[in-house]
Amino acid sequence: MYWSGNSKIELEIKLLAMPKIKISFFEMKERWQREFFEKQLSPAGYVLQFNPGKLTVGNAGKYKASDAIVVFIHCKLDKKVLEKLTRLKLVATQSTGFDHIDLVAAKSRGVTVCNVPVYGENTVAEHSFALILSLSRKIVESANRTRAGKFGLEGLRGFDLKDKVIGVIGAGHIGRHVIRMAHGFEMKMLAYDPYPDKSLESHYPLKYVSLEKLLATSDVISLHAPYGQRTHHLINTKNIHLVKKGAILINTARGGLVETAALLAALKSGRLAAVGLDVLEEEGLISEDSGLVAGYLEREKLATALADHRLLTMKNVLVTPHNAFNSREAVLRIAATTVENIEAWKKGRSVNVVSG
């Protein structure tokens, strides 16, 4: 574009006069992340402020000058937190799921919320398979034994995945990568999804079935549905008895999809032989000892947190700490998309907007 000398100077003066956009980052513990965002955003005139900790109702007042915030899933952005951020116009969550953000409250305050819809469908699917294989071949127990110098095979017999039935609940971005991988293992495949994509059935020997049929027929059940009011306790005390006896259940989606009490009962009765979880129903509370001590937790949440603790101690339960997204490649893609989301919002474009 050609600028006459004067109009170019006028534009520069206008840009200089524009108030700088202040962005506060939370749960930003690693140096490379801070360097990445500095490099990408500071030259464009943003003012960045990094915090390793979470944004909470207790500290939100300190960040009331923020125009935008960048968060991860452990920052619970409810009405009370959002109310304290009086200048806030953008929430960029560095996650696919956005169930930690009250979208209604955000919308009513004119706050745009954007996410990172695709960064690691294969990444999370690979973690699901890591859990499946760890359970089917007793990898953790085997490795623990050899570390202790014991090389006996007693109790270490696993089972083949070939010809077993996998039931994928939620055949979206991640679920379809699980289906691709399961196909490679020559598993039989079922899916339950209220919005079936028929092209998947023509691509793979896959059948969409009801949730009930999936639970009753699958040897491996893998959850990949989003969490929300409609999917809260999708697997619960009323339907867990439908699960095929001896099946294994994998959850890398969200803890709230499965009622923890139902899970514990099914493990105790042997209906579920083993469980692999990257997510727990009240996982946020497990590290929040202060809440337990101060006694501010609701009774129900406390009971679930204690049940989560019980799960952690069971031999046939394998828990990873919400780590499925955490590959070198995926975290770089998350950071790059977050920059794109912020830049698009600044230019008034709607990119990866989930509300606003």
Ligand X SMILES: NC(=O)c1ccc[n+]([C@@H]2O[C@H](COP(=O)([O-])OP(=O)(O)OC[C@H]3O[C@@H](n4cnc5c(N)ncnc54)[C@H](O)[C@@H]3O)[C@@H](O)[C@H]2O)c1
**Measuring CA to CA, how many Å separate 111 from each of 9, 57, 91, 101?**
33, 17, 7, 11
Minimal distance in Å, beta carbon 329 to ligand X? 14
Q: Which residue is nearest to ligand X (CB)?
A: 172
* Residue 296 buriedness (CB in 10 A; 0-12 / 13-18 / 19+): exposed
Minimal distance in Å, beta carbon 200 to ligand X? 10
- Cβ-based nearer residue to ligand X, 171 or 187: 171
Which residues on adjacent β-strands are paired with residue 207?
190
Binding stretches for ligand X (CB under 6 A): 96-97, 121, 124, 169-175, 192-195, 224-227, 230-231, 234, 252-254, 278-279, 322, 324-325
Contact criterion met (CB below 8 Å) for 122 and 177: yes
Minimal distance in Å, beta carbon 118 to ligand X? 7
Q: Is the dihedral of CA 284, 337, 195, 323 positive or negative?
A: negative
Contact criterion met (CB below 8 Å) for 66 and 88: yes
Minimal distance in Å, beta carbon 140 to ligand X? 19
**CA 189/CA 167 separation, integer angstroms:** 6
Minimal distance in Å, beta carbon 258 to ligand X? 12
- Characterize the bridge pairing of strands 68-71 and 112-114: unpaired
Strand intervals (E) in the chain: 22-25, 47-50, 68-71, 90-93, 112-114, 165-169, 188-192, 206-208, 220-223, 247-251, 272-277, 317-319, 353-355
- Cβ-based nearer residue to ligand X, 158 or 196: 196
Q: Active-site residue among 74, 100, 254, 271? A: 254
Minimal distance in Å, beta carbon 99 to ligand X? 7
- Cβ-based nearer residue to ligand X, 224 or 271: 224
**CA 355/CA 279 separation, integer angstroms:** 25
- Cβ-based nearer residue to ligand X, 225 or 247: 225
353 φ, ψ (degrees, to nearest 5)? -85, 125
Contact criterion met (CB below 8 Å) for 95 and 333: no
* Residue 54 buriedness (CB in 10 A; 0-12 / 13-18 / 19+): middle
- Cβ-based nearer residue to ligand X, 21 or 169: 169
- Cβ-based nearer residue to ligand X, 33 or 66: 33
Token pair of 343, please? Answer: 């830049």
309 is catalytic: no
Token pair of 92, please? Answer: 């960029």
- The residue type at 303: A
183 is catalytic: no
186 is catalytic: no
Q: Active-site residue among 121, 281, 283, 288? A: 283
**CA 332/CA 342 separation, integer angstroms:** 16
Please tell me whether residue 229 adopts helix, strand or coil conformation. Answer: helix
Minimal distance in Å, beta carbon 192 to ligand X? 5
- Cβ-based nearer residue to ligand X, 60 or 330: 330
**Where in the sequence numbering do the catalytic residues fall?**
254, 283, 322
